[in-house]
Amino acid sequence: LGAALGAGAGLAAPQLGSAVVEEMPMEMIQRPHSSQQVEGKRRRKFPDFELTKSGLQVKDVDPGRGSLFPSHGDTVVLSWEGYTVNYKGLPFETRKLQERAKVEAEPLRFKVGDGSVIPGIDEAVRSMREGGIRQVIVPVELGYDAEKSLGPRPSTFSGQRALDFVLDNTGGLMDKTLLFNMKLKHIYPASA
């Protein structure tokens, strides 16, 4: 990622004060030990982000090159960073965390539509071009599954701990909205 994503590109977790509360649906949460769902945290619409029908918020920093968009079955390679949006904006995957832990992470590689990554990333990458840089705010229902089996996963222990702290919180006390900075490095068409 380096200068392409992160402080050099002016990308980071949006601050809580930069959000504008608009008429957006409330986050529904499951009460512990009950089948009842109740309203949870009020959702936030961040300025300069486009809201999709699914509730994903996207902001293109660089549109990329070419006219090819990934489609179902194509393999994509991307570099990424991740932040907790409303829990102090803590990073759970950045180059700095990797450098501190002396970890060299591989880029994320997956087939579009194969269900191996969180739905928010799968949706966001489908409208990106090679070389494109995008910020994506992922609501809880487009994020990690309960078993946390979907990618991407942090490459460091501290990043894993920060993400798990937010995801494992029950009772609706913590907003599980996440921010991903993504750079689409390459698209390998399925027909090739």
* Chain segment 154-179, per-residue pLDDT in tens: 988 888 998 998 898 876 677 889 99
- Are the beta carbons of 108 and 91 closer than 8 angstroms? no
The pLDDT confidence band at residue 11, using thresholds 50, 70 and 90, is low
- Are the beta carbons of 68 and 148 closer than 8 angstroms? no
The pLDDT confidence band at residue 6, using thresholds 50, 70 and 90, is very low
Mean per-residue pLDDT for 64-89?
Answer: 90
Please tell me the least confidently modeled range out of 13-17, 37-41, 150-154, 180-184.
13-17
Closest to 172 measured CA to CA, from 13, 55, 26: 26
pLDDT on residue 24: 54
